[in-house]
Structure 1
Amino acid sequence: MSTASVSLPNWITYGLMPLLNLTLAFVISGLVVWLIGENPFEAVKLLLIGALGRGEGIGFTLFYATNFIFTGLSVAVAIHAGLFNIGSEGQAYLGGLGAALVALALDNYLPWYATMPFAILGAAAAGAAWAFIPAWLQAKRGSHIVITTIMFNFIGAALMVYLLVNVLIVPGKMAPETRTFLEGGQLPKLDWLMELFGLKLGAAPFNFSFIIALVMCVVVWFLIWRTKFGYEMRTLGISPSAASYAGIPYARTVIITMLISGGLAGMMALNPVMGASARLQVEFVGGAGFVGIAVSLMGRNHPLGIVLAALLFGILYQGGGELSFDMPNITRDMIVVIQGLVILFAGALEFMFRPALVRIYQNFVKA
């Protein structure tokens, strides 16, 4: 009997198995660090201190994690419907445009809490619009969603550069960016939240978009597991033929799912555009759309798992920067290698330990 068909308890599938994969990734990373002449235990200590050792480091960790929560949710929603959206990067770019246009239009007239709902809608609408064409091509013409969303990443990046250089740039300035938003177009920092735990935020741009991201986790959970449309998504993702037999409209489900996925990716822009820099800049996404793929896979496409995986990558991003400063031999490229190993073992090889765990579990049950 194949081990792939054996059912395991959730605490093994969603707890023990990811932990084993993550442990192996860090063991191999430690060997790489040791081979270049550094102490791996000291490296782990410096990484954790840099990410979690003081209020400012925690603030940066949560700032990065906020980006990854949004993009992880974006990828997860599509996966539940059997779609692989690799276009979160481009959708986030366009989401930044939507949020920036709202902030530029309203920051002189409304306080931030009145501007924020319009900015959320603007970012989500722009991200969804950028996902619509690949979704329509998949649903109506059979074009593969992976190919079209990848291509739209490049088109979105090129479009943003054109707009910032030729349309939205501040007259007389060399930098391709919009003007700085007034206070009414900025999301406030969550320094009060850090102070509840006796910590100081410092220069970290940890802001209100983190709370929006957590709210979206609840919304996505409710959508996927507590609504009729969520059931239709999951049915399509598990068996397109069963979905067709049940009368679930393929084109409608694909298009709406991708609109939701693109909207979540677009909302990621709230964090760097309105929360951190208070203006729209080139390359503000910084690869978060692609990291979201790993975050979703590591989190088993569940909002709670996505939050935990996003925190892990936030720690790697922030702690890795501190580590490369304290240990010059461990460069930023080395940090990327460690991130890649985490993705490899927790994503691509996520079921590597499953056959052994199945045998151990079966022997334990028989005993």
Structure 2
Amino acid sequence: MNEKSARKLQLSRRIDGIHPAAAWSIRVASIVFALIVGGLLLLALGYSPLKAYGTIIDGSLGSKTFVRQTIKIAIPLLGCALAIAPCFKMHFWNIGAEGQITAGAIGATFFALKFGKTMPQLPLLLIMAVAAILCGGLWALIPAFFKAKWNTNETLFTLMMNYIIIGVVKWLQGGPWEAPPSGSQMIAQFAGNAKLPSVLGVHCGWIIVLVLTVLMFIYMRYTKHGYEIAVIGDSSNTARYAGMNVGRIMMRTMFLSGSISGLVGFIIVSGANHTLYDGVAGGVGFTAISVAWLAQLNPFAMIIIASMLAVLTKGSQTLNTRMQVPSTIADILTGFILLCMLGCEFFINYKISIRREKED
């Protein structure tokens, strides 16, 4: 019998983890790789990569006006990432933040339209915020209840609910809340009392999300609720054996997630858009998933990731206007950088080794 050894690639999870310096080296290398490939794409299309990247930085950070616009993009990204972090920590895949933002925006808009010209600013804004929190929380509670009661698939449930609430906004645009003239399919702009005041040139939503960042870090790290979320994320069976009411904790956590998403909806309509329309969330609910994962569900790391994505988003818009780079190419460039940033986590959590096997 003749024997020979065959080499095979083996994929295994890193049991002991990886040194933080090595992990950050992989992350930096992935970004450099994405920039090189993106530069080659721009070069192939006849654009200067260095000029393009310089335009992205200048278009997002080159002046006070650009910085303020970049911060406005980062605010809802950070807020929504904070909202979905507890759910993801619990391994409850909430893909419905987009709809929960929209539900909160509807609640805030109702009071803005009804009392915007008659109620003082501070009480009106507080009522709008509370309405947004309740609407977003209750909208998120629906899939959580079905998951706790009948173990439904939360991913599909929350995803489909996005389209339902967006349909409600479309109905409001062309129905009860339509602004004159008839057929405009638009909702009226908010009165001045229903708009968030500015602080340092940006609406005060940035203060709200920074406060939420600190509170979420404390909630996840140092509270009983945060501990219960972590236990369920590790093993729901272990949590049940320990006497935890898993279904109730799921519903409580989803209500919290939806409430924060609803508050983000209030910040968007009151601080940035000053009106409601069917695309009010603007894809923030989906992009925030990348922010949360790249930050490893760390609230403070989310500030950095959300800021980076805001720089890419604002810079890509400037790339289109200054260098006439098609918006699709700018989106491809941004998407590839995101893909590499997410993909590098695979090499941080897993290792590939060569295994030798004897063959007859």
TM-score normalised according to structure 2 size: 0.89
Give 1 or 2: higher strand fraction.
2
**Which has the higher Rg, Structure 1 or Structure 2?**
2
User: Aligned partners of 2:50, 2:351: CA distance in 1, in Å?
Assistant: 29
Return the letter of the residue paired with 2:211: V
**Percentage identity across paired residues of the two chains:** 25
Tell me the equivalent position of 1:284. Answer: 280
Question: Quick one: which of 145, 148, 152 aligns to 1:136?
Answer: 145
Which amino acid in structure 2 is aligned with residue 6 of structure 1?
D
Distance in structure 2 (CA, Å) of the matches to 1:16 and 1:264: 33
Choose the corresponding residue for 1:6, options 16, 26, 31: 16
Match of 2:124 among 99, 115, 135: 115
In the alignment, which of 341, 348, 351 is matched to residue 346 of structure 2? 351
Deviation, structure 1 residue 71 = 1.5
Tell me what 1:197 maps to.
none
Q: Distance in 1 between matches of 2:283 and 2:93?
A: 17
Compute the RMSD of aligned alpha carbons: 2.1
Aligned to 2:226: 230
Q: Do residues 150 (structure 1) and 159 (structure 2) align?
A: yes
Query: Given residue 15 of structure 2, which amino acid in structure 1 is its aligned partner?
Result: S
SS in structure 1 opposite 2:189? coil
Q: Does 1:331 align with 2:326?
A: yes
CA contact (8 A) 1:176 1:282 kept: no
**C-alpha separation between the residues in 2 aligned to 1:86 and 1:131?**
10
Cα 1:144–1:341 shift into 2, 3 Å: same
Q: Could you say if the C-alpha distance between residues 286 and 19 of structure 1 is closer, same or farther in structure 2, counting changes exceeding 3 Å?
A: same
Which of 195, 206, 223 is residue 186 of structure 1 equivalent to?
195
Could you report, residue by residue, the CA deviation over 1:171-215 in whole angstroms, capped at 9, with x for unpaired residues? 43443333222221100223xx2xxxxxxx5xxxx3111111111
Cα distance in 2, alignment partners of residues 291 and 80 from structure 1: 17
Kept after mapping to 2: 8 A contact 1:209/1:270: no
Number of residue equivalences: 343
Residue 316 of structure 1 aligns to a residue whose secondary structure is helix
Whether 1:219 aligns to 2:215 is: yes
Q: Unaligned 5+ residue runs, structure 2? A: 1-10, 354-360
The answer as to 2:308 corresponding to 1:298 is no
Q: Which residue of 2 aligns with 1:97?
A: 106
Match of 1:34 among 43, 48, 63: 43
1:84 has 2:79 as partner:
no
Is the CA contact 1:320–1:332 (under 8 Å) kept in the aligned structure 2?
Answer: yes
In 1: Cα distance, 2:301 partner to 2:352 partner: 21
Structure 1 letter corresponding to 2:55: L
Rounded to whole Å, the distance in 2 between the matches of 1:11 and 1:208 is: 36
1:252 aligns with 2:248: yes
Tell me how far 1:18 sits from its aligned partner.
Answer: 3.1
2:346 aligned counterpart, secondary structure: coil
What is aligned with 2:5?
none
> 1:319 aligned to 2:324?
no
Q: Which residue of 2 aligns with 1:342?
A: 337
Matching residue of 2:4:
none
What's the CA shift string for 1:135-158, capped at 9, x where partnerless?
Answer: 111111111110001110111111
**Alignment gaps of 5+ in structure 1:** 194-200, 359-367
State the SS of the aligned residue for 2:329. helix
Q: Distance in 2 between matches of 1:226 and 1:353?
A: 27
1:107, distance to aligned residue in structure 2 (A): 2.6
Deviation at 1:324, TM superposition (A): 1.0
